[in-house]
A and B are shown apart, each in its own frame.
Chain A
Amino acid sequence: MAKTIEEKQYLVRYKADKKSHLTILNHEKCATECEGQICTLFCPGDVYKWEGDRMFVGYEGCHECGSCRIGCPNDNIKWEYPLGGHGIVFRLA
């Protein structure tokens, strides 16, 4: 069984672009104005990682669900679609 998020993410096919489609607008804000960096909790692809004092965005594993754009309390994530044909490729449901 795929128990961990790493194991789950291995089940998914990605065609990652070289350029990120997710951008933290103001890194300072994540550190000072966000309690608990909640995007690191609810992101289903575990894209956001808080390392020390900076947010790292592993856009390559993004499910393009939009949760981070809507859920970020500071509207601090610029969310775009990956370029045509790039990003996640679901094969089943």
Chain B
Amino acid sequence: MPEKFDVIVVGAGPAGAACANVCAKNGLKVLLIERGEYPGSKNVMGGILYRKQTEEIVPEFWKEAPIERPVVEQRFWLLEKESMVSMGYKGKEWAQEPYNNFTVLRAQFDQWFAKKAVEQGALLINETVVLECIVEGGKVVGVRTDRPDGDIYADVVVLADGVNSLLAKSLGFHKEFKPDQVALCAMEVLNMPKGKINDRFGLEGNEGCSVEIFGDATQGQLGTAFLYTNKDSINIGVGTTLSGMIRAKVKPYELLEYVKNHPMIRPYIHDGEPAEYLAHLIPEGGYYAIPKLTGNGVLVIGDAAQLVNAIHREGSNMAMSSGKMAAEAIIKAKQNNDFSEVGLDSYRTSIYDSFIGKDLKKYKDLTHTFEANPQYLNEYIPLMNRAASQFFTIDGTPKREKQAKIMQSFTAGRGKLGVVKDMYQAWKVMK
């Protein structure tokens, strides 16, 4: 008789490790399966980790987790070819406990985070691919791995296998994602001495800065670039929808070079020493792309469930929360000895009742609207740059005339009615 677990979690990223942690903490026998050499070795994100949802799994994690810097300043740059409109917020309160968010390097953070699940009693096995779910009588009863005699059984299998969730797809929980439901992101880690980072970004000690970059960075495609400060390195990356990348016929690494060489960005990163090049897909299909979340003996969490809020660059926090909610549903199912779809259904309702379901619902039409209306990126961001330039240029023109000119420039292209329509539409999808 092969060994049987209460729970098998496939994938030791933030979602899987959080689920394994909470299950194990509550006395369940948990197996956590990772296909990489170690947790994090296959994972990529820009590098911002939110405090709140991580703390719910490991209280006061920042005291021991391998974090890079607490973020004290969040900037937004609206980029044109040779200019930018810059906004942001910097607050010293973010430099103190309990902090707002942190920059992290995932390969290091994920190893630590999975270790915390192991400390709670979960068994972690690396270098093991789950080839398929074992289904008997319409119920998932285990997994088939690529190890010899690799069948393992459990009451519940949790799919935390990321954006390329071949397992959820093979169970028929969703169709193949479409090119407009995923974003392709390329990034580089550039090593740079701490002092230089602090000078360039106006930081002190271990304070961090994050920059989200819109406009010319993606050459008109729907997407963003970013710049995050680690201890002794900088993450720089850019991503657009895969459909945008295909439409523009631009290579992701060439777009990354374009961003690195942009005159507004280059001064912050030049002479940084390249340390790693990474690419990954981000599931950005939003509310409509959320697959079936529960089945008989099976749950889908994290990126595999498309739980990403692209507008607020939230993903790993939703992954951890969904892992926790899945664990809570499994604990309940164990008490009732009912691992059917109905018995596990509290996971699905928890997701939709939580900030995850609510936030994704709030922005359900946003990606589509922005992809279908490129003028927001292609026209309004350049207009804002020109308006700012005019406004701050002292050339003897009276201010009232300047303002009139700026207003004219906004309505010249699309007409007054067009601008009002665009603004109303933008408000509608953001509200």
A interface with B by C-beta (< 8 Å):
1-3, 5, 7-9, 11-12, 15, 36, 38, 41-42, 44-46, 63-67, 69-71, 75, 79-85, 87-93
Contacts and interface: CB of A to CB of B under 8 A. Distances in A.
Given A66-B281, A92-B276, A93-B45, A5 B253 contact: yes
A66 B176 CA distance: 11
B252 A8 contact: no
A15 B50 CA distance: 32
Contact of B253 (A8, A65, A70): A8
Most buried by A among B178, B246, B270, B277: B277
Contacts of B44: 90, 93
B394 to A, nearest CB: 38
Interface residues of B, number: 57
B276 A44 contact: no
Report the 8 A-B pairs with minimum CB-CB distance, sorted nearest first: A85-B127, A44-B279, A8-B277, A2-B274, A66-B164, A84-B127, A63-B279, A44-B252
A93 B106 CA distance: 5
B36 A85 contact: yes
Contacts of A81: 35, 129, 164, 166
B28 interface: no
Given A84-B35, A89-B41, A71 B179 contact: yes
B184 interface: yes
Nearest to B126: A85
A46 B251 CA distance: 9
Contacts of A84: 35, 126-129, 145-147
Contacts of A79: 164, 166
Nearest to A42: B245
Interface stretch (B186-194, B343-351, B403-411): B186-194
Given A44-B186, A69-B164, A84-B129, A89 B36 contact: yes
B258 to A, nearest CB: 11
B274 A1 contact: yes
Interface in B161-191: 163-164, 166, 176-179, 182, 184, 186-189
Contacts, number: 146
Given A41-B246, A84-B127, A3 B276 contact: no
23 contacts: A1-B274, A3-B257, A9-B277, A11-B277, A15-B37, A41-B245, A42-B246, A42-B252, A44-B186, A45-B279, A64-B42, A64-B164, A65-B164, A67-B245, A84-B127, A84-B129, A85-B127, A85-B128, A89-B36, A90-B106, A90-B107, A93-B187, A93-B235
A52 B260 CA distance: 33
Nearest to A15: B37
Contacts of A15: 37
A12 B278 contact: yes
B127 A65 contact: no
Given A8-B274, A91-B107, A69 B176 contact: yes
Nearest to A5: B253
B40 A90 contact: yes
Contacts of A67: 182, 184, 242, 245, 279, 281
B114 interface: no
Contacts of A82: 129
A36 B251 CA distance: 13
A82 B275 CA distance: 24
Contacts of A7: 274
A32 B389 CA distance: 51
B24 interface: no
A90 B177 contact: no
B68 to A, nearest CB: 10
A91 B179 contact: no
Contacts of A69: 164, 176
